[in-house]
Amino acid sequence: MADVKLIGSPLSPYVLRAVLALSLKKVEYELLPEKFGEKSELLLKSNPIYKKIPVLIHHDRPICESAIIVGYIDEVWPESGFGAILPADSYHRALHRFWSYYVDDKWFPSLVAIGKAATEEARAEAVEQVRAGLLLLEEAFVKLSEGKAFFGGDHVAYLDVMFGCFVNWIKAAEELVSVELLDEATMPALHGWAVSFREHEAVKEVMPDSGKVLEFLKILHAMWMKEAADAKN
């Protein structure tokens, strides 16, 4: 068995990407948990530039950044488990990477902004941005899936992993502020995808419970509200 270790907590959506990729490839690994708010010596040694999770350690060699880790896992175990994660077609591969970058650069910060909002006006603006982003991803899903269950068509592919890690965060944010973000009426395709993604064999095994994600989000929300209050004083 390959010597595979993963530094981080599956409650982190970025760590979950690596967990999902390893599950899809059916690769056994050892999880080395990091405590929230702390950085272990191993983490600092393994990722001295950014000093953050996740870090995949394969044969004692660290690989950092979730997007890079998922690509690495796909290359090292190309035929394992459920097969390739990155699409075989170059154009579709580029589209998956483009939308994954959009999710990280534009969409997820707006989701975080919901939890950080100190006023109703700021929260409403963040909710609107999240929903606008989801509508764009709805369009992307329709084009990429070609009427099938996943962004990768019949199988879970790169964008499924890169965006799917946030599925339970969307649900937690909805419960935190009592608002519907990913609704079936306006985003039927993406809503259906989220259901299919959660039910996938490799995903069900590793997806953290939505209740635990909500508990963690409440901790973050309380921390952000304290920071906002301290900043005013």
Is there a domain that residue 224 lies in?
A: no
CATH number, position 36 = 3.40.30.10
Residues 200 and 98 placed together within one structural domain of the fold: yes
Distance CA 209, CA 199 (A): 13
Instruction: Examine the pLDDT at 195 and tell me if it is beyond 50.
Output: yes
Residues 50 and 103 placed together within one structural domain of the fold: no
Is there a domain that residue 54 lies in?
A: yes
**What is the per-residue pLDDT for 229?**
84
Confidence of residue 116 (pLDDT cuts 50, 70, 90): very high
Confidence of residue 2 (pLDDT cuts 50, 70, 90): low
Is there a domain that residue 10 lies in?
A: yes
Residues 110 and 205 placed together within one structural domain of the fold: yes
Is there a domain that residue 122 lies in?
A: yes
**What is the per-residue pLDDT for 62?**
98
Is there a domain that residue 193 lies in?
A: yes
- Overall number of domains in the chain: 2
CATH number, position 154 = 1.20.1050.10
Nearest to 76 by CA among 17, 2, 5: 2
pLDDT, greater one: 1 or 57? 57
Is there a domain that residue 16 lies in?
A: yes
Residues 94 and 188 placed together within one structural domain of the fold: yes
Is there a domain that residue 223 lies in?
A: no
Range of the domain at 181: 90-218
pLDDT, tens only, 43-53? 999 999 999 99
3-state secondary structure 35-101: CCCCCCHHHHHHCCCCCCCCEEEECCEEEECHHHHHHHHHHHCCCCCCCCCCCCCHHHHHHHHHHHH
Residues 123 and 17 placed together within one structural domain of the fold: no
**What is the per-residue pLDDT for 167?**
97
CB atoms within 10 A of CB 217: 21
Residues 65 and 99 placed together within one structural domain of the fold: no
Is there a domain that residue 114 lies in?
A: yes
Residues 72 and 138 placed together within one structural domain of the fold: no
106: left (phi over 0), alpha (psi -120 to 50) or beta: alpha
